[in-house]
């Protein structure tokens, strides 16, 4: 039996464009034992799948030959890659603690070198090279005017300033298995231009190429920062209780069980549970919730959220590497490496397209002079321009840039999708099957009705709460919660005891009190016809009834139900507005299910076992529907697995990220519709990008053959299209849903 593949993840330094990713992908695939490679430009990362242990040094050397830095993700400073260069970034783009990016042996010709730690992009080596090349070109213009006889040579010298590092990278890429790289096309075009006497224009084209590369790097950095900026929400230090006082320690050193003090206005430095105090918590930076939530003892809080008005003591429940934000960042980085079907198609297309462009350029340069007696210099010039026009960079980046921006903007709003294929798949969803408990409903009962008879509502609630004190039963918790919310007094109960299958009884203020089911209450007190009808009516609404008997008389009724989430009805309506069928699948009794379904306007299937839910998902698919299943990710595992897209819904660290294809971090039913809308927005953006990339090339191809445009507009057609496509994709970061 074939051994399962293992995966090793790396962070890459200086990779800012699609051609960079393609070269790295090809080079690493050539190593022995490597089964698959996934590279993300926006995530600056690479995952290598391998059957036997991977030699990290070989991967490092292979990538370093191309001029990029590499380190194993999560490696400490003592790893082999990290030792290669001690001055590498500890706090590189994305705040990857403990990860370093090496700049291995590329020297000053390292075209794609990134900025040093804390440096702005304009202080990077790439910016320095671009500036040096531009300065050399300006100097050549001045020297050419002063010494006309030396003009060709000074422009040649200016050209070499930028062309030598480009040609070196072209050679390294060719040796690593990518002969048709943008650097190779650029080198051929520049050398060809020199041979036909267009040295000045060749030098200008190299400068424009370097400026375009610099702009690509800036755009890629912005895309990368869009999700990595989440990591910056977590404060660097925390106040920890130790030895009867508090000490300030680095947040990354917090351990599970530590108790931290969070002052008003501070960001919470770790996921945890409140053990003392209460406060309004602003979760907008993490979940997108616009209204702060009041939280108190035993309630969870997340790293990066803001404590508004009270001093809190919080027990840490997750280490820094596993808090909510770290998990979201890690999930999105991994998702960016999983290519969408459209992206895979574009990649395959570009591998044929680039050699095709070379062939077309060669034919344009050779055929007209040979067949029609055209001028050799003129047609060689046009052929060289076509090489630059035909570079596939803009086309190749059109899809991953939009996918990455979509994944990032979704993650910032609590919408997590495991890869481009999932994001792309949401646009095709035509049916959504929801679990009920904990998905469409809050997952815990609340008191919905108090009907008073021999006593007033406040007294009915107070007596019931007195009997339920100390109980952890969900119905007891609901009654105690309502008493607390209504500020009803809860007197002590004497001799309180549970009666199996019936209810609970005791003495409250000298009065014998019983709280239990209707039949059990009927054994202790006479119920009128009106009271029995009231019980039946509330039961018919899917509510659980408790009857309170005091001094041998029916004092009142308390109805409880697991109520729909506040936005459930609006979320169902939003899906219907998108033309999507909705159905509720639940194991609950039919009466309760139909009552909830009527409130929400959704089709209901009740009294189902897990295998029944899976069967119904299959039936919907056989009807030709693309089905998304929304549930808790655990009890609904069979149905989640059977659906076209499985969506786990939950809160914070409890969400079942590993089970489903996508996850909603906070329990908003509306977020399912938002995922569909985001998918459609991303695919529309990809269509725009492909139109821009191919449209510009088509226009400049025609104008070049007609002799209207030349080499420098050709390079603008390439780099300009790449920048336009990337900028268009970045618009998705402002998507609001």
Question: What span, in angstroms and rounded, lies between the C-alpha atoms of 450 and 199?
Answer: 90
The one catalytic residue in 435, 562, 661, 718 is 435
How many whole angstroms separate alpha carbon 48 and alpha carbon 698? 37
Whether 121 and 217 have beta carbons less than 8 Å apart is answered as yes
Q: Measured between alpha carbons, how far is 161 from 139 in angstroms, rounded to an integer?
A: 12
Q: How many other C-beta atoms can be found within 10 angstroms of the C-beta atom of residue 375?
A: 10
Sheet holding 603-605, edge to edge: 415-417, 662-664, 645-649, 627-631, 431-435, 581-585, 603-605
Question: Closest by alpha carbon to 37, among 67, 2, 56, 9?
Answer: 9
Helix (H, G, I), strand (E, B) or coil at 719: helix
Report how far residue 408's alpha carbon sits from residue 394's, in angstroms, rounded to the nearest whole number: 21
| Residue 714, token pair as written in the block | 């050709």
Helix axes 341-372, 393-411, angle to 10 degrees: 160
Beta bridge partners of 301: 272
Q: Which residues of 214-248 are buried (b: 16+ CB within 10 A; e: fewer)?
A: bbbbbbbbbbbbbbbbbbebbbeebbbeeeeeeee
Q: What is the DSSP string of 1-56?
A: -PPPPEEEEEEEES--SHHHHHHHHHHHHTSTTEEEEEEETTTTEEEEEESS---H
Q: Is 278 helix (H, G, I), strand (E, B) or coil?
A: coil
Beta strands in 338-445 (DSSP E): 415-417, 431-435
Spatial distance between the Cα atoms of 713 and 703, rounded to a whole number of angstroms = 10
Of 335, 318, 344, the residue nearest 227 (C-alpha): 335
CA distance 679 to 685: 10
- The b-or-e profile of 610-631 (16+ CB within 10 A means b, else e) is eebbbebbeebeeeebbbbbbb
In 51-163, where do the E strands start and end? 69-72
- The helix (H) or strand (E) run that includes residue 249 is strand 245-250
Q: Measure the CA–CA gap between 251 and 236, rounded to whole angstroms.
A: 5
Q: Where are the alpha helices (DSSP H) in 304-340?
A: 324-337
Q: Is 435 a catalytic residue?
A: yes
Tell me the chain's radius of gyration from C-alpha atoms: 33
**Assigned token pair, 407:** 């994944």
Q: For residue 668, what are the contacts with CB-CB under 8 A and spacing of at least 6? A: 414, 565, 567, 571
Nearest to 7 by CA among 43, 51, 63, 69: 51
Q: Which residues are catalytic?
A: 435
């Amino acid at each position: 039996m074939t051994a399962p593949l293992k995966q090793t993840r790396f962070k890459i330094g200086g990779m800012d464009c699609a051609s960079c990713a393609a070269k790295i992908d090809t080079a690493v695939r050539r190593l022995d034992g490597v089964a698959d490679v996934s590279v993300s430009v926006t995530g600056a990362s690479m995952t290598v799948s391998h059957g036997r242990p991977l030699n990290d040094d070989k991967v490092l050397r292979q990538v370093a030959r191309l001029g990029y830095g590499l380190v194993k993700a999560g490696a400490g400073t003592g790893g082999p890659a990290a030792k290669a260069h001690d001055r590498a970034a500890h706090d590189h783009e994305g705040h990857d603690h403990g990860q370093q990016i090496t700049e291995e042996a590329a020297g000053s010709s390292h075209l794609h070198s990134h900025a040093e730690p804390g440096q702005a992009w304009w202080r990077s080596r790439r910016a320095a090279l671009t500036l040096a090349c531009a300065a050399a070109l300006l100097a050549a213009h001045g020297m050419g005017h002063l010494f006309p006889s030396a003009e060709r040579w000074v422009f040649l010298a200016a050209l070499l300033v930028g062309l030598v590092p480009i040609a070196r990278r072209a050679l390294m890429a060719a040796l690593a298995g990518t002969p048709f790289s943008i650097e190779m096309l650029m080198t051929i075009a520049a050398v060809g231009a020199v041979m036909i006497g267009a040295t000045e224009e060749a030098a200008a084209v190299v400068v424009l190429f370097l400026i375009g590369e610099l702009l690509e790097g800036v755009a890629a950095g912005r895309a990368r920062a869009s999700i990595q900026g989440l990591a910056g929400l977590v404060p660097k230090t925390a106040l920890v209780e130790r030895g009867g006082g508090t000490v300030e320690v680095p947040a990354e050193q917090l351990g599970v069980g530590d108790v931290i003090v969070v002052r008003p206005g501070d960001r919470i430095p770790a996921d945890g549970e409140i053990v003392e105090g209460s406060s309004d918590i602003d979760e907008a930076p993490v979940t997108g919730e616009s209204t702060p939530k009041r939280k108190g003892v035993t309630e969870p809080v997340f790293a990066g959220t803001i404590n508004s008005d009270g001093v809190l003591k919080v027990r840490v429940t997750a280490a820094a590497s596993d808090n909510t934000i770290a998990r979201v960042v890690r999930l999105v980085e991994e998702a960016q490496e999983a290519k969408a079907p459209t992206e895979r198609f574009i990649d395959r297309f570009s591998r044929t397209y680039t050699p095709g462009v070379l062939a077309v350029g060669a034919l344009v340069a050779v055929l007209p002079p040979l067949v029609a007696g055209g001028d050799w210099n003129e047609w060689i010039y046009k052929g060289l321009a076509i090489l630059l026009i035909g570079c596939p960079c803009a086309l190749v980046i059109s899809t991953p840039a939009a996918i990455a921006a979509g994944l990032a903007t979704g993650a910032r709003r609590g919408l997590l999708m495991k890869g481009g294929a999932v994001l792309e798949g949401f646009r095709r969803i035509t049916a959504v099957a929801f679990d009920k408990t904990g998905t469409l409903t809050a997952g815990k009962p609340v008191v919905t009705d108090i009907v008073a008879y021999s006593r007033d509502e406040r007294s009915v609630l107070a007596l019931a709460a007195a009997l339920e004190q100390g109980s952890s039963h969900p119905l007891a918790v609901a009654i105690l919660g309502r008493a607390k919310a209504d500020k009803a007094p809860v007197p002590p109960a004497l001799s309180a005891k549970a009666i199996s299958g019936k209810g609970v009884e005791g003495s409250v203020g000298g009065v014998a009190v019983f709280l239990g089911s209707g039949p059990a209450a009927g054994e202790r007190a006479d119920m009128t016809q009106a009271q029995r009808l009231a019980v039946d009516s509330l039961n018919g609404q899917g509510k659980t009834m408790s009857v309170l008997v005091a001094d041998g008389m029916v004092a009142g009724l308390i109805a409880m139900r697991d109520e729909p989430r506040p936005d459930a009805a609006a979320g169902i309506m939003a899906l219907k507005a998108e033309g999507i069928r909705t159905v509720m699948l639940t194991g609950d009794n039919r009466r309760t299910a139909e009552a909830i379904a009527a409130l929400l306007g959704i089709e209901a299937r009740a009294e189902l076992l897990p295998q029944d839910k899976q069967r119904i998902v299959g039936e919907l698919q056989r009807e030709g529907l693309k089905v998304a299943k929304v549930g808790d990710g655990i009890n609904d595992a069979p149905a989640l697995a059977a659906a076209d897209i499985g969506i786990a819904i939950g809160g914070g660290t409890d969400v079942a990220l590993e089970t489903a294809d996508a996850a909603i971090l906070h329990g908003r039913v509306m977020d399912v519709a938002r995922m569909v809308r985001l998918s459609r927005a991303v695919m529309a953006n990809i269509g725009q990008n492909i139109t821009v990339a191919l449209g510009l090339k088509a226009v400049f191809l025609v104008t070049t053959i007609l002799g209207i445009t030349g080499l420098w507009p050709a390079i603008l057609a390439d780099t300009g299209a790449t920048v336009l496509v990337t900028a268009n994709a970045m618009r998705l970061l402002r998507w609001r849903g």
